Amino acid sequence: MTQSPLEQLLGALDRLDVDGTVALFAPDVRMMLADGRRATGSEQARELIASFMAQLRATGHRITAQWHQDDTWIAESDSSYELRDHLQLQVPRAFFVRANTTGIFEMRVYGAHEQALADHDPDAGGIRVGGHWLPPL
């Protein structure tokens, strides 16, 4: 049995494989990360994924539940991150992926530990929880 587009995406992310991740995207992909950063098109998506991965030593996503309807896959994930400074985080994530024959054309990532709206810093990549950076995927 082949993996779903969502399982393929998480596998590429867990390998910290920018090229492999971007290869799964349709040319007109639209994406939104848990911290609110967005990208439209494969070039912006590459930049966003590369900046995300550059801050990590390792990452892992364990799917705890998954649903599929038509062109949409939804999954809940226990996500773990090890940052370049060796800080380790484990957070829940929800992934929404829509795909067709051209690849993943929409991806949205949601998390339960996001910053308060009043704590907005437009220049910061990711968010801070308890003084520590929290990655958006």
What does the pLDDT look like over 54-98, one tens digit per residue?
A: 989 999 999 999 999 999 999 999 999 998 888 888 889 999 999
Q: What residues are paired with 134 via a beta bridge?
A: 127
> CA 21, 25, 29, 30: dihedral to nearest 10 degrees?
-40
Residue 45 lies in a domain: yes
Residue 129 lies in a domain: no
The total number of structural domains that make up the chain: 1
Q: What residues are paired with 90 via a beta bridge?
A: 80
Q: What number is the average pLDDT over the span 109-136? A: 62
Instruction: Sheet containing 38-40: give its strands across.
Output: 38-40, 25-32, 103-111, 88-100, 72-83, 56-69
CATH code, domain with 59: 3.10.450.50
Residue 121 lies in a domain: no
pTM of the model: 0.80
Q: Which residue has tokens 């998480």?
A: 10
